[in-house]
Amino acid sequence: MFSKQEQKADFKEVETIIGPSVKIKGDFHGTNNIIVEGVVDGSLKTSGNLRISDKAKITANVEAKDAKISGEVKGNIKIRGYLEITALAKIFGDIEVLSLSIERGAIINGKCTMLVSGEEIKKQQK
């Protein structure tokens, strides 16, 4: 169904880890892979991959290439590639994504828009 590369975002080279004791208030923008285990209140954007751990609490709009969400997100999510939502995830906001998998038990309260291709994302950014 999905290729192995599409099923798991690549987190071998992580540039930033927001640890469990870290709280960020404001906009956080990166260009490489990010792992969030703490709290972010503002916006969270990367051109790399994003992993939100099961203990993380995000009150922010989120943008990334590929992502795996296991924690709580209150805000809209835009993923240009593949999004994996685990059973522990709680998402309160709209999702825009190219490819998606959702485990049983995940909570999603919002609408989900499946993008046709990367071209659609480029049109929306203009």
Higher pLDDT, 13 or 71: 71
Does residue 3 carry a pLDDT above 60? no
Give me the mean pLDDT over the 6-14 stretch.
57
- pLDDT, one tens digit per residue, over 43-73 is 999 999 999 999 999 999 999 999 999 999 9
Burial class for 11, CB neighbours closer than 10 Å (0-12, 13-18, 19+): middle
Burial code (b: 16+ CB inside 10 Å, e: under 16) for 13-34 equals: eeeeebeeeeebeeebeeeebb
Question: What's the pLDDT score for residue 121?
Answer: 53
- pLDDT, one tens digit per residue, over 85-124 is 999 999 999 999 999 999 999 999 999 999 886 555 566 6
Does residue 5 carry a pLDDT above 50? no
